[in-house]
Amino acid sequence: MTESSRATQHPIPSAVQEAYGPSDLSSMPLFAGGFINFGYWQGIDLDQPLTERDRISSQQAMYRHVLSTLAPTEGLRALEVGCGLGVGGVVALKEFGFAHVTGMDIHPQQLKRAQQANSDVLARQPEQLHFAHGAAEDMPFDDAEFDRLYCVEAAQHFRDLGAFAREAARVLRPDGRAVITSFFVPDADQARVGRLSELLETFATGLDVAHTIPQLTSSLERAGLTKVRVTSIGASVWPGWDRWLAGMWKPGTWPRNFLRAYQEGTLDYFTVTAERPAV
């Protein structure tokens, strides 16, 4: 691979630049453990007071859920798109038998944090973990370089789902598999897009984009991926996320509207899997 010859020039949207630069979302108590996702709360008792340990477990569990959809077998090469601090890549290496994981992120500061957060693994297993600067829409990799691709709570930031899907199909080898998990509008009802800006500051400011599930699945199919399957995992995400938010945000404040958006059908959390056909 000649990564430098394909180095991305893709611009970082200003809201993404701020959130993962100066604001450093990973340092906020909302997240914890180096992860930055809402969490997969199945098996965590939401009737008990939640601890930081529960919060970290919920985010690790999100990775376990996602990685388990990839039918991982020993010795595969995986790419994570939007890796953040790269701690999910270590779950992939330690628990799912991958031979190599590349964590890619658009934000250079996130990659610096990833190098620091995983310095022990990078020192012990330098041939197994690697971080790369690149955009979902313009990946600095050769064709068919990866057996598996996964993307955890990053697609809501992408400006061009079509370009992401084409790049995912290109860097996956024939018979390779992809999984994308994040929050999306469940259907094509355009009224939901405006409603999200009313309910949630992250959509109003442009940090998050109101992509719809039909937009994502048609992008993946147009890129040549097949067996596109969509599963709602909202029941395992939103109630736990809201319980965690309740320790920091009062009812009626905008972050508590994530649960409301789910309950009224405006937003849900999905796992979407796809395959590159074998030749």
Ligand X SMILES: C[S@@+](CC[C@H](N)C(=O)[O-])C[C@H]1O[C@@H](n2cnc3c(N)ncnc32)[C@H](O)[C@@H]1O
Binding segment for ligand X (CB under 6 A), chosen from 47-55, 152-160, 220-228, 261-269, is 152-160
Chain positions 7 to 66 lying near ligand X, rule: CB under 6 A, are 16, 20, 35-37
Binding segment for ligand X (CB under 6 A), chosen from 40-48, 80-88, 119-127, 226-234, is 80-88
Which of 103, 176 has the CB closer to ligand X? 103
Q: Which residues contact 229 (CB under 8 A, 6 or more apart)?
A: 272, 273, 274
Give the H or E element holding residue 101: strand 100-105
Q: Residues 61, 152, 172, 179: which binds ligand X (CB under 6 A)?
A: 152
| Nearest partner of 81 among 52, 61, 106, judged by Cα | 106
Which of 66, 122 has the CB closer to ligand X? 66
- Asked if residue 82 binds ligand X (CB under 6 A), the reply is yes
Contact 78, 149 (CB under 8 A): yes
Binding segment for ligand X (CB under 6 A), chosen from 68-76, 134-142, 167-175, 262-270, is 134-142
Pair of tokens at residue 276: 């590159």
The number of residues making up the chain comes to 279
Q: Residues 90, 136, 179, 209: which binds ligand X (CB under 6 A)?
A: 136
Q: Residues 110, 217, 219, 273: which binds ligand X (CB under 6 A)?
A: 110
Q: Which residues contact 185 (CB under 8 A, 6 or more apart)?
A: 192, 193, 196, 210, 211, 212, 213, 266, 267
Contact 89, 83 (CB under 8 A): yes
Q: What are 88's strand-pairing partners? A: none
Which of 81, 178 has the CB closer to ligand X? 81
Q: Shortest distance, CB of residue 150 to ligand X, whole angstroms?
A: 9
DSSP state of 185: B
Which of 154, 196 has the CB closer to ligand X? 154
Which residues bind to ligand X, rule: CB under 6 A? 16, 20, 35-37, 81-84, 88, 105-107, 110, 135-137, 152-154, 157-158
